[in-house]
Amino acid sequence: MVLVCGELSANAVQHGGRRGHLFEIRLTVDGPRCLVEVSDASRTPPRPTKAGEDDEGGRGLLLVDSLSEETGHHYRYPLGKTVWARLIPGSPSEESVCTS
C-alpha cells in the first residue's frame, strides 16, 4: 500500500502540479479492501510508458497496476483529476510482486 501511495503521489507532483495547487491523498478502508485516491490539478489522464532497460523512471503505473485489484481515474470539478487504486492488502498478487 505504501508503494502505491508513493508512486501515485510522485506522479501527482511530477505531472499534475500547477502553481498554487497542491495534491491530495485519500485512503478509504472498506472491509478487506483499501482505496487509495490521489488528486491533482491536471486533467491529463495517467498513461503507462515503455521504460527502457536503463531508464530511471517510467515503471510506476505498471507497479501500481500489478499491486492493485483495480485502477482508474476520474475528472474533478472544477479542476484536475483523481487517480485511484483499489487494493486488498496482503493479497497474493501484492506478495508475488514484492518477493520476485
Task: Let me know: does 37 contact 11? Beta carbons within 8 Å.
Answer: no
Mean per-residue pLDDT over the chain, rounded? 85
**Neighbour count for residue 11 (Cβ, 10 Å):** 20
For 29-80, write each residue's pLDDT tens digit: 988 999 999 999 999 998 888 877 887 777 889 889 999 999 999 999 988 9
Whether residue 28 is predicted with pLDDT greater than 60 in this model: the reply is: yes
Run of H or E including 30: strand 24-30
Whether residue 96 is predicted with pLDDT greater than 60 in this model: the reply is: no
Q: What is the pTM of this model?
A: 0.81
Whether residue 100 is predicted with pLDDT greater than 50 in this model: the reply is: no
Query: Which pLDDT value is given to residue 94?
Result: 46
Query: Which pLDDT value is given to residue 86?
Result: 97
**Neighbour count for residue 44 (Cβ, 10 Å):** 11
Query: Which pLDDT value is given to residue 67?
Result: 93
Grid cell in block for residue 25: 491523498
Run of H or E including 97: helix 92-99
